[in-house]
Structure 1
């Protein structure tokens, strides 16, 4: 039998240690949680509890204090004097009207302070004294009219300042003194009319400045002095009418400049001088008829929509050698040959919503890298031979919603890489068999919502890569046998909403990979047997809303044998 050994009794030393530990625990006072707040370790949540003043007895170990969504009106000096461990303080959505000197005394470790959505009217010098470690300060949605010089002195670690949605009218020299670590400054949605020279002095690390939705009228050459590291400047929705030459000199690291929705009427050759690294420029909704002479060697995106441009001259974009994306919704009627010479890097050109009637030969010469051309919603009537000469890299061409009646032979010649062609919502009546010659890589062809009555045999014969063909809502009455020969990879054909009366058994011959065939809302009376002979397994044939009266016994034998679903309601 194995002997059992009893657990040894604790020695005197162990007993003594346990006794002392218990005495310490029992003698340590339990820090009360100010009612009716909720507390968890160093978190104290007092939000939405109906407080009209800062509650007493907040534990001095608190690191996170939520006092938002109350009715607090006043904060007495030294209220937070014992909360040296506090790192986060939320006071937003109260009714605080004044912040006096000493309001935040004792909060030397505070990193985030939110006092937005209150009734504060002014930021006094000394109000924020002692917040040496503050990194984020939200004062948006108040009624602040002015910021006293030196108001932010001492906040050398602040990285983000939001004073948006206030009533500030002027930014004086020295307004933001002391903010040597500031990276983002939001002063949007105020009433700023004037920015004094030197207003942003000392903001050496600022990378983003939001000044949108103000009343700024002029940008002078000392407005942004010293902002060497600025990357994003938002000036949209102001009342800017003039920009002094050299106004942006020194902003060599700026990547994005947003000037949309202003009243700028002219951009001079020196207006944007110094912006050597600018990547995106937005000038939408101004009144700039000419952009000639601007040199921005690294610009990638240019927005010039709704800017009263009626004509593109042949030197319009000289100096924009790196441009990739260009947006030009305006009232353009003419594109002169050679307009785009010099922007050979352009990949996306948006010309929709203009008044272009004619595309002359050579209009797009030089755009050897262009992949997408959007010409929808214009007034083009004819596509002539050579209209798209030079667009050897084009993969998508959108011509929908124009007035196109005629597509000349060879209109799309040279577009060897075109994959998507959109011609829907035009006035095309006939398609000849040489219309799409050379488009061997085309996968999507949109021809719906036209007035097409006749499609010549062989029209699609050169489209060997075509997958999707949309011909719905036209006036097609007859589909000749072999009309779809050539594009043997077709997946979808849509012929809904035409006036087709008869489908022969050779109409869709050779389409062994077809998934779906739409023939709804026609006037079909007869469907010959074996119509979908050779189609891929498990496809769909839609014959709804026709007037089929003649169906042979074996009409759908093939279709059903390969698992096709037939809809013929």
Structure 2
């Protein structure tokens, strides 16, 4: 047992143990470690341990850290930065209120799951130095706005960002999503009302899902800094019209269950990459001649 842990253990014997910092892992049988620590798999499992504070004694070589279903109000930045080999962190269903740059400078971090908390916002450049592959911030009642550079990334990996089912999330900003080489962005089930100019900036998006929001307006330059999108899902929103320039080069567009009434010839024509278009469940009364000319449409659902 380390000298620091020994002092902590002796202190807890002398005072109210409820005021002591929890020890995550220990090889000493005299110390009641609160987490399940697997040395071979380099895993620390602190799920549903009633934690109110970040536990001490997490091994520096930990790869997988599970902290879900506790009462944590913040992530201990200094303690987290000691885990330089960390690959995944799971901290769902806690009481976290903010996400700052605590994840920066972790060179191997691929997975961050922090859904079901009370996060009020994501600070700019929170994940800029993180080689992320998966990020989930879902079912959170606190987030109202995603600011510029909230998801400015610098990873060569195909990244999946899930910021879904946050009922108070009403706004994303210009430059919220930046520097994405290859990735998927899922913003379904929020309360977004508009998509501003240059909200998405990157090379290749496997999917951008904005379904089941309250979107009425899409700026004509919303996707101007996107090279290509495979699937763009704008279904189940409140769009009443589409204007020239608001749809980027895309292979599959889902616009069903809106209130679109008119399709002009300038919306989809000459979009050579377009193969599938879903428009059913709208109130379309007119489609201009040659509205789909120049496309590669193979499936059209009206």
TM-score (norm 1): 0.45
Shift of 1:155: 3.7
Do the aligned partners of 1:73 and 1:96 also contact (CA within 8 Å) in 2? yes
Do the aligned partners of 2:147 and 2:172 also contact (CA within 8 Å) in 1? no
Question: Could you say which residue in structure 2 is the equivalent of 1:217?
Answer: 216
Distance 2:133 2:127 in 1: 13
Shift of 1:188: 1.2
1:224 aligned counterpart, secondary structure: coil
Q: Cα 1:128–1:78, aligned 2, differ >3 Å: closer, same or farther?
A: farther
List aligned pairs for 1:80-159, cutoff 5 A: 80-101=80-101, 103-128=102-127, 130-131=129-130, 133-142=131-140, 143-157=142-156, 159=159
Question: Could you say which residue in structure 2 is the equivalent of 1:230?
Answer: 229
Question: Could you say which residue in structure 2 is the equivalent of 1:169?
Answer: 170
Question: Could you say which residue in structure 1 is the equivalent of 2:69?
Answer: 69
Shift of 1:74: 1.7
Q: CA RMSD in A?
A: 2.0
Do the aligned partners of 1:265 and 1:286 also contact (CA within 8 Å) in 2? yes
2:237 is aligned with 1:243: no
Question: Could you say which residue in structure 2 is the equivalent of 1:52?
Answer: 52
Q: Which runs of 5+ in 1 are unaligned?
A: 1-30, 305-569
Distance 2:62 2:213 in 1: 39
Q: Cα 1:175–1:60, aligned 2, differ >3 Å: closer, same or farther?
A: same
Distance 2:284 2:215 in 1: 18
Structure with the largest fraction of helix: 2
Distance 1:126 1:291 in 2: 44
Distance 1:111 1:44 in 2: 16
Shift of 1:262: 0.6
Question: Could you say which residue in structure 1 is the equivalent of 2:256?
Answer: 260
Distance 2:277 2:228 in 1: 18
1:255 aligned counterpart, secondary structure: strand
Distance 1:130 1:56 in 2: 25
Do the aligned partners of 2:180 and 2:203 also contact (CA within 8 Å) in 1? yes
1:181 aligned counterpart, secondary structure: strand
Shift of 1:126: 4.2
Shift of 1:130: 4.0
Question: Could you say which residue in structure 1 is the equivalent of 2:298?
Answer: 300
Distance 1:44 1:112 in 2: 15
Q: Which runs of 5+ in 2 are unaligned?
A: 1-24
Distance 1:172 1:148 in 2: 5
Q: 1:287 aligns with which of 276, 283, 288?
A: 283
Do the aligned partners of 2:194 and 2:218 also contact (CA within 8 Å) in 1? no
Higher relative contact order (CA 8 A, sep 6+): 2
4+ residue segments displaced more than 4 Å: none
Distance 1:55 1:242 in 2: 53
TM-score (norm 2): 0.82
Q: Which has the larger radius of gyration?
A: 1
Question: Could you say which residue in structure 1 is the equivalent of 2:269?
Answer: 273
Distance 2:48 2:169 in 1: 29
Do the aligned partners of 2:112 and 2:134 also contact (CA within 8 Å) in 1? yes
Question: Could you say which residue in structure 2 is the equivalent of 1:470?
Answer: none
Question: Could you say which residue in structure 2 is the equivalent of 1:32?
Answer: 26
